[in-house]
Amino acid sequence: EKRYGRLDVIIANAGIAHKAPLDVLDDDKWELTFDIDLKGIFRVVRAAVPGMRARKSGAVVALSSIMGVAYGWDEHVHYSAAKAGVVGLVRGLAVELARDGIRVNGMAPGYIRTAQLLSEENSLGPKGAEAASAFIPMGRLGEPEDIADVIVFLASNSARYMT
């Protein structure tokens, strides 16, 4: 805040996914995934909270994944576990920070057309992503804007009583 000014909103959207079947999933891959997908959110929020507490205001939106709340993901147990951890982190932070005027909300998107999803090496790839559309109730992949619009709402004063 000394360098850039006050921080009012955190959008914690960093995440990685790598295919790694259990028999080749080593501790380094596990730790890297948790460092980025879960611990990264914790570290950013922890650093920002003092200023938000001092102002008695702030909003945090942290992204989990449908793979962390509703489904497992073959060859991605580390990703599913880290994203499930995001859900617990959001719940705990929401309760702890509410009395300080800081709202914490989470989102758990399904299949969104991103570079990560379209990676054949580490995710579904283009053909797999399109095939997934058949079992998505809305009949299509989500677009980044579909998620961004919800994030903007959650970060805004229109969501002032949501945590």
> Which residues are catalytically annotated?
79
Query: Residue 162 CB: number of other CB atoms within 10 A?
Result: 12
Residue 7 near residue 60 (C-beta atoms within 8 A): no
- 40-55 and 77-98 helices, crossing angle to 10°: 10
Report d(CA 153, CA 19) in Å as an integer: 33
Query: Residue 151 CB: number of other CB atoms within 10 A?
Result: 17
Beta-bridge mates of residue 60: 10, 104
Q: What is the CA radius of gyration of the chain?
A: 17
Report d(CA 2, CA 123) in Å as an integer: 40
Residue 33 C-alpha from the chain's centroid: 12
